[in-house]
């Protein structure tokens, strides 16, 4: 029994010994292979492997997507993206002497071809001067770079030369090298993170830098998109501008639910359409791998992820009409300033909005003065930015959506509609303007019509159409006193006054609609006299030009509600169109717009006709306040002048109009700050209407000519 057990234990021990021996042999063989491999790499083929390993330093680089274009309704490019060359540098394992030589060669190639480069070195030469905003800033700089407090600009210059081990004695060459070396120090770079040297360099520089790349260390030419603003200052407040992203920008984007990963050097839309449609315009960046040797020579590159171009935003505006509108406004303001009418006023800024009365599309929108968006793309100069910011007229301010103005007499059509619809008057009743309006027997408040103030007598009996034609305050005092402020406020709100239109631009103001709620917010008590004031466009009434454009469009189209828009469509880079419902939802969420809950009032055709006839009489009637402007015009126009005194004593001039009267297509609203009289601004409306129908007639003539040729051919 014991013998059997002993044999069994011996057999198990033999098996273990055998396994151990096998494992030992395997380990020995693996070690031998490794040793042979190392010997081959280090001794036999060491040089070859070392050379190959130098090219295995791989860096990932971004391929910027081409930003989408912004075009007008006919497809004309207002803003687009062109491809350009930029120069960047990576850190490499080279000595100062080689790096400085490479930098100098690079800078000289750029300068030879007229290309600039980033230069923030704070010492200029010939003469030597420091460039700091304060003595305190200079002192901190000297401390940081270990330069004696008493050192002059020249002494500091040469100390910085020694810091970077620059061996040349040529002062110009030293300054060029210092510009780049200092930039590297302040901004930093690494073997995987580049520093930008120059943006938008010429093709000549790009080619020469590429050809001489063996003499340059860590230099890389990047092909990237650059924003082009093709129309200068035109439509600047619509298009907006771009600039480098800030922490505040990124926080705002993330707060809106945008999870896109931006780089600190990325440029984004800062204002206008560029900002609102950033997510659609920007596209999606791609990636590429760059293989580079340790001495900075690029040995190869390949795309790992293709870039996807941004979507195009198609606007509702017509670029020709936009140009004419802007020119007409600027010319009109200058004419008023120069005393081109019966009196001189120091006219200031102004705004014009042109709409399609049936669709709500904005055909042109001008704010004066304007600015040049293209200046912001690569960083606007301090001088120009200061010029914009210190200008009391604020060129960066979009008056069409950000400046509420008292409407003056241009509001009177609202009062007329409310009075007719509530039945406090009708189309035939004549109210006798015989002087000051007596609100009540004991009232001290006795407002009178402008006509009484000028001529010492009233207009006499007028119906609603005549009251609009002659702009008779007395008539509107009476009907508003009959119906009360609540009815007036109700109809004004239906026409979109005192509330945002929802146009696809940031910073639209809601303005103020006069009434009890507005008085309450100000801590005031509303009285009967306030109703009289509100009825003629005064009191708290303040509306933006774009709100006024919606109101006049609804007047022209028979009282039908419309939504204003400046974006016609958004088209992806693959040609597909983004659904309109998606765009509306996107902009509402982005701009914080909630649909207005306004009662849908069914306004009688008889009411609208009476109001429209009054507006036609303004431009055609014997007593029309704009008859002198439109008497020889071959297109029938309905309109209304307005003048509104501001708290500063200025008198803003307004004109609202539509055409053609028989079948309205467009509405035009003009406001000129301190323009004096609404009649003066009517010239702008005339010119805009003439251009609009001139374009239409040209199109009709072309079609007729083509049809005539076809008939002859047949």
Q: Summarize pLDDT for 80-134 with one digit per residue, the tens.
A: 998 888 899 988 888 999 999 999 999 999 999 999 999 999 999 999 999 999 9
> Given this model, what pLDDT does residue 654 score?
97
Structure tokens at 443: 């009232």
> Given this model, what pLDDT does residue 34 score?
58
> Given this model, what pLDDT does residue 595 score?
75
> Given this model, what pLDDT does residue 251 score?
86
> What DSSP element (H or E) covers 461?
strand 460-462
How many CB atoms sit inside 10 A of residue 7's CB?
A: 9
Q: What secondary structure letter does DSSP report for 134?
A: S
Q: What secondary structure letter does DSSP report for 77?
A: E
287 φ/ψ sector (left φ>0, alpha ψ -120 to 50, else beta): beta
> Given this model, what pLDDT does residue 289 score?
74
Give the pLDDT band of residue 51 (cuts 50, 70, 90).
very low
With beta carbons less than 8 A apart as the criterion, state whether 508 and 591 touch.
yes
Query: Is the predicted pLDDT of residue 199 greater than 50, yes or no?
Result: yes
With beta carbons less than 8 A apart as the criterion, state whether 659 and 333 touch.
no
Give the pLDDT band of residue 53 (cuts 50, 70, 90).
very low
Give 565: exposed, middle or buried? Use CB within 10 Å, 0-12, 13-18, 19+.
buried
Q: What is the rounded end-to-end Cα distance, in angstroms, of the chain?
A: 124
Give the pLDDT band of residue 50 (cuts 50, 70, 90).
very low
> Closest Cα to residue 49, out of 62, 40, 36, 58?
40
Tell me if residue 600 falls in helix, strand or coil.
coil
Structure tokens at 29: 């063989």
Structure tokens at 423: 């039945």
Residue-wise pLDDT tens digits, 566-617: 999 999 999 999 999 999 999 999 998 887 777 788 999 999 999 999 999 9
What distance in Å separates the CA atoms of residue 570 and residue 533, rounded to the nearest whole number? Answer: 44
Alpha helices in 55-124 (DSSP H): 96-112
How many CB atoms sit inside 10 A of residue 301's CB?
A: 15
Give the pLDDT band of residue 10 (cuts 50, 70, 90).
low
Query: Is the predicted pLDDT of residue 431 greater than 90, yes or no?
Result: yes
With beta carbons less than 8 A apart as the criterion, state whether 364 and 325 touch.
yes
With beta carbons less than 8 A apart as the criterion, state whether 537 and 407 touch.
yes
- HEC sequence for 616-683: HHHHHCCCCCCHHHHCCCCCCCEEEEEEEECCCCCEEEEEEEEECCCCCCEEEEEEECCCCCHHHHHH
Residue-wise pLDDT tens digits, 313-344: 999 999 999 999 999 999 999 999 999 998 89
With beta carbons less than 8 A apart as the criterion, state whether 674 and 652 touch.
yes
Query: Is the predicted pLDDT of residue 6 greater than 70, yes or no?
Result: no
How many CB atoms sit inside 10 A of residue 698's CB?
A: 10
> Closest Cα to residue 158, out of 182, 174, 138, 176?
174
Q: What is the mean pLDDT of residues 196-225?
A: 88
Query: Is the predicted pLDDT of residue 699 greater than 70, yes or no?
Result: no
> What DSSP element (H or E) covers 51?
helix 46-54
25 φ/ψ sector (left φ>0, alpha ψ -120 to 50, else beta): alpha
| Residue listed under structure tokens 């914009």 | 388
> Given this model, what pLDDT does residue 695 score?
58
Tell me if residue 602 falls in helix, strand or coil.
coil
Query: Is the predicted pLDDT of residue 704 greater than 70, yes or no?
Result: no
Residue-wise pLDDT tens digits, 137-170: 999 999 999 999 999 999 999 999 999 999 999 9
E strand map for 107-258: 123-124, 129-130, 195-201, 219-229, 242-244
> What DSSP element (H or E) covers 460?
strand 460-462
Over the chain, what is the mean pLDDT? 88
Quote helix, strand, coil % in the chain, to nearest 5. Answer: 45, 20, 35
> Given this model, what pLDDT does residue 703 score?
46
With beta carbons less than 8 A apart as the criterion, state whether 90 and 189 touch.
yes
What distance in Å separates the CA atoms of residue 365 and residue 96, rounded to the nearest whole number? Answer: 57
Residue-wise pLDDT tens digits, 458-502: 999 999 999 999 999 999 999 999 999 999 999 999 999 999 999
Query: Is the predicted pLDDT of residue 77 greater than 60, yes or no?
Result: yes
> Given this model, what pLDDT does residue 600 score?
85
Tell me if residue 525 falls in helix, strand or coil.
coil
Alpha helices in 471-604 (DSSP H): 473-483, 485-494, 516-521, 528-535, 545-556, 580-591
> Given this model, what pLDDT does residue 2 score?
46
> Given this model, what pLDDT does residue 220 score?
85
Q: What is the mean pLDDT of residues 549-569?
A: 97
What distance in Å separates the CA atoms of residue 568 and residue 391, rounded to the nearest whole number? Answer: 34
Candidate from 120-129, 209-218, 672-681 with smallest mean pLDDT:
209-218
36 vs 443, residue with greater confidence: 443
> Given this model, what pLDDT does residue 57 score?
61
Domains plus CATH for the chain? 56-88+190-315 (3.90.1310.10), 92-188 (no CATH), 319-561+598-698 (3.40.710.10)
Residue-wise pLDDT tens digits, 278-320: 999 998 888 877 666 655 555 666 667 788 899 999 999 999 9
Query: Is the predicted pLDDT of residue 257 greater than 90, yes or no?
Result: no
| Residue listed under structure tokens 């010997």 | 39
């Amino acid at each position: 029994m014991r013998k059997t057990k002993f044999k069994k234990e011996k057999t198990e021990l033999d098996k273990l010994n055998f396994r151990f021996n096998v494992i030992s042999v395997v380990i020995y063989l693996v070690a031998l292979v490794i040793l042979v491999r190392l010997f081959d790499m280090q001794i036999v083929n060491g040089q070859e492997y070392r050379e190959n390993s130098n090219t295995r330093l791989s860096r990932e680089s971004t391929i910027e997507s081409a930003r989408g274009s912004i075009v007008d309704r006919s497809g004309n490019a207002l803003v687009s993206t062109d491809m350009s060359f930029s120069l960047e540098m990576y850190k490499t394992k080279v000595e100062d002497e080689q790096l400085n030589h490479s930098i100098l060669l690079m800078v000289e190639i750029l300068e030879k071809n007229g290309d600039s480069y980033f230069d923030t070195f704070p010492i200029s030469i010939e003469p030597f001067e420091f460039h700091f905003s304060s003595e305190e800033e200079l002192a901190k700089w000297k401390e940081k770079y270990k330069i004696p407090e008493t050192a002059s600009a020249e002494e500091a210059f040469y100390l910085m030369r020694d810091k970077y081990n620059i061996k040349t004695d040529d002062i110009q060459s030293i300054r060029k090298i210092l510009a780049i070396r200092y930039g590297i120090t302040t901004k930093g770079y690494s073997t995987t993170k580049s520093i930008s040297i120059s943006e938008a360099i010429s093709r000549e520089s790009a080619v020469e830098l590429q050809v001489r790349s063996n003499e340059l260390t860590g230099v890389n030419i990047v092909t990237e998109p650059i924003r082009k603003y093709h129309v200068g200052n035109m439509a600047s407040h619509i298009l907006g501008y771009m600039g480098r992203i800030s922490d505040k920008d990124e926080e705002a984007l993330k707060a809106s639910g945008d999870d896109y990963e931006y780089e600190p050097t990325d440029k984004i839309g800062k204002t206008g359409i560029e900002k609102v449609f950033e997510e659609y315009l920007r596209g999606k960046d791609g990636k590429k791998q760059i293989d580079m040797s340790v001495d900075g020579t690029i040995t190869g590159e390949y795309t790992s992820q293709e870039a996807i171009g941004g979507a195009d935003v198609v606007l509702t505006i017509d670029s020709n009409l936009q140009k004419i509108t802007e020119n007409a406004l600027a010319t009109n303001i200058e004419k008023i300033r120069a005393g081109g009418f019966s009196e001189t006023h120091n006219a200031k800024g102004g705004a014009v909005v042109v709409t399609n009365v049936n669709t709500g599309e904005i055909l042109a929108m001008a704010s004066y003065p304007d600015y040049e968006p293209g200046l912001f793309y690569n960083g606007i100069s301090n001088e120009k930015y200061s010029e914009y910011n210190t200008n009391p007229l604020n060129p960066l301010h979009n008056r069409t959506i950000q400046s509420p103005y008292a409407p003056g007499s241009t509001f009177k059509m609202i009062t007329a509609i409310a009075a007719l619809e509530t039945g406090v008057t009708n189309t035939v009743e004549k109210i006798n303007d015989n002087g000051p309006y007596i609100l009540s027997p004991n009232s001290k408040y006795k407002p009178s019509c402008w006509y009484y103030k000028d001529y010492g007598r009233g207009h006499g009996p007028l119906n609603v159409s005549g009251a609009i034609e002659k702009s008779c305050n007395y008539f509107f005092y009476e009907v508003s006193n009959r119906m009360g402020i609540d009815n007036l406020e109700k109809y004004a709100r239906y026409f979109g006054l005192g509330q945002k239109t929802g146009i696809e631009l940031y910073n639209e103001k809601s303005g103020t609609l006069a009434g009890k709620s507005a008085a309450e917010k100000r801590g005031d008590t509303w009285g009967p006299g306030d109703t009289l004031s509100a009825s003629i466009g005064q009191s708290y009434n303040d509306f933006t030009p774009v709100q006024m454009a919606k109101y006049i469009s609804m007047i022209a189209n028979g009282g039908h509600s419309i939504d204003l828009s400046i974006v016609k469509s958004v088209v992806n880079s693959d040609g597909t169109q983004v659904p309109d419902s998606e765009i509306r939802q996107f902009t509402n969420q982005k701009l914080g717009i909630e649909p207005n809950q306004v009662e849908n009032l069914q306004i009688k055709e008889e009411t609208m006709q009476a109001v429209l006839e009054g507006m036609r009489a303004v431009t055609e009637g014997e007593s029309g306040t704009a008859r002198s402007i439109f008497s020889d015009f071959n297109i029938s126009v309905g309109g209304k002048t307005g003048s509104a005194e501001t708290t500063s004593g200025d008198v803003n001039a307004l004109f609202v109009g539509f055409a053609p009267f028989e079948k309205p297509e467009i509405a035009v609203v003009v406001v000129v700050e301190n323009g004096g009289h609404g009649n003066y601004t009517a010239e702008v409306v005339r010119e805009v209407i003439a251009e609009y129908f001139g374009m239409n007639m040209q199109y009709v003539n072309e079609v007729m000519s083509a049809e005539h040729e076809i008939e002859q051919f047949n």
